[in-house]
Chains A and B, each alone.
Chain A
Amino acid sequence: QITLKESGPTLVKPTQTLTLTCSFSGFSLTTSGVGVGWIRQPPGKALEWLAVIYWNDDKRYSPPLKSRLTITKDNSRNQVVLTMTNMDPLDTATYYCTHSSLVDRGPIPDSWGQGTLVTVSS
């Protein structure tokens, strides 16, 4: 059974850097085709894809946010970390960690964490 859980600060100040950690179980990020990504959702708004990292360390980023995002993985700890620089109140959202498998369904998120709400405010 695949599980993912997001952790990180609930409140950050404008201009600060956000660091979120996704801890997962039920799969390995060393398995061919597997990816772990991030998606966010501002309150009452639609979903926005942010980034994904694959088993082979291939990384993809949302073009409008690429300059602010970094995604890394720690296979030994089964964790993926997302950093987002220069946070703004418009970045207030629930941030979800997701699993995908290029072998099974392609790059689409097929399992999701519960999400973590991050508020950006001074």
Chain B
Amino acid sequence: DIQMTQSPSTLSASVGERVTLTCRASQSIGTWLAWYQQKPGKAPKLLIHKASTLDTGVPSRFSGSGSGTEFTLTISSLQPDDFATYYCQQYNSYSLTFGPGTKVDIK
């Protein structure tokens, strides 16, 4: 099975800051990677798929990059609505796996 790791586990940042979250796969997954945002008590929301394709309606301050085993999610200028937990997910196979998440909180 493909294992996913994320770093850091928690990130404290201020509004307006540029933040970068990292996701690593235990083996190459090409660009078959998605990013989700989850707020407390809510279902996750798809932000990015195919490593770098922004989903419909997602603000352009979000961007994704990477391929193979290392991926990043960047928020160019953190907004109050962005404080949440972010999960990466691989879909190299039909057996999907998620990372443990990165919580972005207010500094």
Q: Are B46 and A47 in contact (CB under 8 A)?
A: no
Q: Specify the chain B residue showing the minimal Cβ separation from A66.
A: B95
List which A65-122 residues lie within 8 A (CB) of chain B. 96, 105-110, 112-115
Flag whether B64 is at the interface (Cβ < 8 A).
no
Q: Which of B34, B43, B97 has the most CB of A within 10 A?
A: B43
Q: Is the CB of A46 within 8 A of B49?
A: no
B46: which A residues are within 8 A, CB to CB? 105, 108-110
With both chains docked as a complex, state the minimum distance between the C-beta of A42 and any C-beta of chain B, in angstroms. Answer: 12
Knowing A46-B101, A108-B49, say if A114 contacts B43 (CB, 8 Å).
Answer: yes
**B32 and A62: CB pair below 8 A?**
no
Cβ of B91 under 8 Å from chain A: yes
| A-binding residues in B (CB < 8 A) | 1, 32, 34, 36, 38, 43-46, 49-50, 55, 87, 89, 91, 94-101
Q: Residues of B contacting A106 with CB < 8 Å? A: 32, 49-50, 91
Interface size, A (range): 10 to 19
B99 touches A46 (CB 8 A): yes
Contact partners of A62 in chain B: CB under 8 A: 95
Which single residue of chain B is at the shortest CB-CB distance from A104? B49
Chain A residues, Cβ within 8 Å of B87: 46-47
What CA separation (Å) do A49 and B90 show in the bound complex? 11
Contact of A49 with B43 at beta-carbon distance under 8 Å, contacts A106-B32, A107-B91, A108-B34 already known: no
> In the docked arrangement, what's the CA distance between A49 and B55, Å?
20
